[in-house]
Structure 1
Amino acid sequence: MLISDGVIGLRPIEVADATAHRAARNRESVRRTAGPGTPNVVADFERCAEEWAQDGPCKTFGVVDVVSHTLAGTLDLAVEQEFLAKRQADIAYGIYAPWRGLAGRSVVLACRYLARHDLADEAVLRIDPDNTAAIALAHRLGFHYHHTVADAEGRLDWFIQAI
């Protein structure tokens, strides 16, 4: 299953993607990326693949360059989470440096996936207030600031868009 706009695509993450993910993360200094990020990347990807197999509420996609089939990042979708309102979906993405300009396309494809599968009425981007690039992207994509949540893990600004 691949959802694509002809430039990039989203497909279920595979355990085999762990090597490319680890290499991309090691080559660059990334403050925040979505998806598996602990030292045991293979175990994280196994967990993500199992979530797909069980059709669970959290799905990790591989963001791929359609022409080269190269893993360009990861994108997480989460529904039915305690911190979300009913029919909201959280989107978190981490695009590797060579493909950073494609982050917006990945969010748009995620919203299409949510709509196609009738999983949510609203998409949520939770963004660190210091991440001005992600905030600018949220605004360019039509997301609107909703509120800020501050807890033990830090502060996140919530941006919401109807699907």
Structure 2
Amino acid sequence: MSSQTTSVRTGSAREGRTGARRALITVAGATVTALTSWALAGPASGVDLTVRTGGALQQVGPVAAAAASLVAGLAAWALLAVLERFTSRPRRIFTIVAVAVLTLSLAGPLGQAAGTASALRLIGMHLAVAAVLIFGLVWRRRGRA
């Protein structure tokens, strides 16, 4: 019986490492998506990604895009981990919360972008990063109760 218990624990530990690896890849993928979206939406298209903060205009640069997506990704991963530990339907709750946070995050580009072209491109960046995080983190847990 103890060998059976050891086998189960080893399998669980392996599963945990695989899940963490997939989550880390998802967070990294979201950051790469943010940087790629920034490059295509801004420099490649000739549009200044500019927002108004406190009355002053500020450029949205690659560091800001990468940092925001990295923080969002790590927060999403942490939320999912907590939900998996304390709820019976973590994927469903995570998806609802993630979509709500995405909706709230769109207020930034909608209210602070310096122009329509900038707003549309920033919204696209938000949607692209959110898609990678939501689908990537939920997908990694498919098949688990």
TM value normalised by structure 1: 0.27
Bigger strand fraction:
1
The structure showing larger relative contact order (alpha-carbon pairs under 8 Å, at least 6 residues apart) is 2
Larger helix proportion, structure 1 or 2?
A: 2
Rg larger in structure: 2
TM-score, normalised relative to structure 2 = 0.30
